[in-house]
Structure 1
Amino acid sequence: MTAYEPIPNAGSGHRFDTERRWAAAIALGFEARDEGGAAPITRLVRRRHVGPLRVQRPFYPEGKTGCCHVYLLHPPGGLVSGDELRIEAEVGEGGHALLTTPAAAKLYKADSHGVAWGQHTRLQVAQDATLEYLPQETIAFDGSRGEQTTTVELATGAKTLGWEVLALGRPASDLPFATGALEQRFHLSLDGKPLWIERQLLAPKHPRFTGAWGQGGATVQATLWAVGLDDEAAAIEALREELPDHNRWAVTRRQGVLLLRYLGADRNEAWALCEQAWHLLRPRLIGLPAHTPRIWLT
């Protein structure tokens, strides 16, 4: 793993002009180790953090299957203008890690200068390793401005399943996402070859936001991806048969990447859909049933 280099001006969070920046970062490394059991067990062997982004300890709720559960903790609970979060995780050959978060993340309204925030996630999965990236949902407040990037780098034989659930505005409080701009970027590659590259801009003032050919006025969206399935067609058929039958989601595959999309108005529905899809896909991906992280139940 490449050591994390602190972001320049990491200590400038107390400024109140356009140069405001408060950086936080974490770099995690997992390795599969033979400890005399029936199979190797994955250990968190490297962790380095800068600022308020860290993990407390790994968990093994699945016993000696080798899967290491880790909760990514960001005590502030949300991003404000100038925040810059960087998350890096690398799973070594034969390892198996599951990353999640303890609660929904919040993207707050930009300050009077309109300074943006940034969140950048880089996930590396070695040969015959598995990484599940299952963060809880993200809620974007009206006026939020920022960029999210997710980069997944796979080696031959690597497997991964992950999702991103995004809710725009707070309709229950009659506070829609009426201003601001979010940019999301996804980049997934296998041995350096791009398999899935995507960029989307979520700006309420753009015609795409309300147009039927784009966002269509939807306030909640979700994307789930899976790579490494032995039979993608059968997995898609199982999803179509078992998931709730409505017109707010669709599933497809392209260049070895299974993609499930949700577009609607209910973040609980989007989350439930992704979780149910995970329960259906995990046994097909790694031969193990889904094991709900305890943190989701608190």
Structure 2
Amino acid sequence: MNQCVTALPSSLSGHRFDRERHWAAALTLTFAQRHGATRMMRARHHGPLRVQRPFYPEGRGEACHVYLLHPPGGLVSGDALTIQAHVESGAHALLTTPAANKLYKADSQGVAWTQHTQLSVEDGGALEWLPQETLAFDGSRGEQRTSIDLHGSARCLGWEVMALGRPASELPYVSGRIEQHFRLTLDGKPLWLERQPLDPLHPRFTGRWGQGGATVQATLWAVGIADAAGALEALREALPDTPRWAVTVRHGVLLLRYLGNSRNEAWAICEQAWHLLRPRWIERAAHTPRIWLT
């Protein structure tokens, strides 16, 4: 298998427990078309971020499925995760995770965590970014940044599902702050820019003009659908008839939003939308990663 897996040198910055604590982890992946198949050509890691070996459940000439592994299972104060994935022309990668990501309560000093995801796709490449949901515990403090850089006819489909608090344990999200940033560009020009603070003490969190007290939110995006208007109508006809989700197309980006109180419902809507959109997006039926079924 033509791939390079490299471990970066360890950092000394993690061995502190004051306000300057910093536990860094990074993962850099590159996918390229080689001999009729998408290969993972590069996988550099530092700290507790890894990948399993690539899978080809759809056939060797189809999407390369890769599972991103973060053994700690969540982010605590001082954690700094950086994930970079680059897809070259003609390659097709599907990235997902084996379990939900957890954002734990900040320490007594309120030190924040950070999670930065940088995705790039060259002209003629395709990327599916389909992580399992993120669970934010009460008191979590941090920043999420997702940057997607597309070029030419690059295609990208992905989602982010966020659940706040642990309602089943009667532990709602009533303190903390999570800052979310999304940036999607095509040939350097912005198509979708968004900033969203999740702060229970801000009027937006409970106001009907904002979060409205909802504990679960999700966003699905797709770029590269030839008939985006037709896809939009198909989603409106096929998905559950509920006011908790809506879909639109702006600047060639299809955006589906969910705002409610059920992470199972949010996930089900995103997965159903993916199954419906994928044949329109790349003329291939959706193939559910087996890790979702374990």
Q: Which TM-score band applies after superposition, normalised by the shorter structure?
A: over 0.9
Aligned mates of 1:10, 1:168 — CA distance in 2: 32
Secondary structure of 2:106's match? coil
Which residue does the alignment assign to 2:25? 24
Secondary structure of 1:72's match? strand
Aligned mates of 1:215, 1:292 — CA distance in 2: 31
Secondary structure of 2:50's match? coil
Which residue does the alignment assign to 1:263? 259
1:94-123 residue CA offsets vs partner (Å, 9 max, x unmatched): 100000000000000000000000000000
Q: Cα offset for 1:15? A: 1.3
* Alignment partner of 1:225 out of 221, 225, 233: 221
Which residue does the alignment assign to 1:37? none
Asked if structure 2 preserves the Cα contact closer than 8 Å seen for 1:181 and 1:204, the reply is yes
Aligned mates of 1:49, 1:223 — CA distance in 2: 28
Q: Is residue 13 of structure 1 aligned with residue 9 of structure 2?
A: no
Q: Which amino acid in 1 is paired with 2:243?
A: N
Asked if structure 2 preserves the Cα contact closer than 8 Å seen for 1:10 and 1:21, the reply is no
Which residue does the alignment assign to 1:294? 290
Aligned mates of 1:15, 1:55 — CA distance in 2: 27
Aligned mates of 1:67, 1:274 — CA distance in 2: 20
Q: Cα offset for 1:11? A: 2.5
Aligned mates of 2:246, 2:61 — CA distance in 1: 32
Describe how 1:1-298 pairs up with structure 2 within 5 A. 10-34=11-35, 40-298=36-294
Structure 1 residues 238 and 54: alpha-carbon distance in aligned structure 2, compared to 1, 3 A threshold: same
Asked if structure 2 preserves the Cα contact closer than 8 Å seen for 1:118 and 1:146, the reply is yes
Secondary structure of 2:58's match? coil
1:229-255 residue CA offsets vs partner (Å, 9 max, x unmatched): 001100000000000110000000110
Q: Cα offset for 1:261? A: 0.1
Q: Which amino acid in 1 is paired with 2:45?
A: H
Secondary structure of 1:283's match? helix
Q: Cα offset for 1:12? A: 2.6
Aligned mates of 1:125, 1:66 — CA distance in 2: 16
1:70-93 residue CA offsets vs partner (Å, 9 max, x unmatched): 000000000000000000000010
Q: Which amino acid in 2 is paired with 1:164?
A: E
Q: Which amino acid in 2 is paired with 1:116?
A: A
Aligned mates of 2:143, 2:285 — CA distance in 1: 34
| Unaligned segments of structure 2, at least 5 residues | 1-5
Q: Which amino acid in 1 is paired with 2:277?
A: L
Q: Which aligned runs of 4 or more in structure 1 are off by greater than 6 angstroms?
A: none
Q: TM-score, normalised by structure 2?
A: 0.96
Q: Cα offset for 1:33? A: 1.3
Q: Cα offset for 1:61? A: 0.3
Asked if structure 2 preserves the Cα contact closer than 8 Å seen for 1:282 and 1:288, the reply is yes
The answer to which of 60-69 and 41-50 deviates more is: 60-69
Secondary structure of 1:239's match? helix
Q: Which amino acid in 2 is paired with 1:153?
A: D
Q: Cα offset for 1:66? A: 2.4
Q: Cα offset for 1:282? A: 0.3
Aligned mates of 1:264, 1:71 — CA distance in 2: 28
1:266-294 residue CA offsets vs partner (Å, 9 max, x unmatched): 00000000000000000000000000000
